[in-house]
Amino acid sequence: MVVSCTSSPQGEKATSANAALDNIFARKSVREYLDKGVEKEKIDLMLRAGMAAPSARDLRPWEFIVINDRATLDSMAAALPYAKMLTQVRYAMVVCGDSARSSLWYLDCSAAAQNILLAAESLGLGAVWTAAYPYEDRMQVVRKFTVLPDSVLPLCVIPFGYPATSQQPKQKFDENKVHYNKY
**Chain segment 68-92, per-residue pLDDT in tens:** 999 999 999 999 999 999 999 999 9
Complete DSSP assignment for 152-163: EEEEEEEEEE-B
- Among 105, 116, 92, 108, smallest CA distance to 153 is for 105
Confidence of residue 15 (pLDDT cuts 50, 70, 90): low
For residue range 22-69, list pLDDT tens digits in order.
999 999 999 999 999 999 999 999 999 999 999 999 999 999 999 999
Cβ-based burial of 5 (10 A; exposed 0-12, middle 13-18, buried ≥19): buried
Residue 178 neighbours by CB distance under 10 Å: 7
Closest CA to 95 of 104, 82, 105: 105
Looking at the predicted structure, is the pLDDT value of residue 21 above 70?
yes
CA distance 99 to 112: 15
**pTM (predicted TM-score):** 0.89
pLDDT reported for residue 131? 98
High-pLDDT (> 70) share of the chain, %: 92
pLDDT at 16: 77
CB 159 within 8 A of CB 92: yes
Give the whole-number percent of the chain exceeding pLDDT 90: 89
Domains and CATH numbers, the chain: 43-164 (3.40.109.10)
pLDDT of 97 reads 98
Which segments within 112-171 are labelled E, that is strand?
Answer: 126-127, 130-131, 152-161
pLDDT of the residue at 74: 98
Please report the pLDDT score of residue 14 as a whole number. Answer: 54
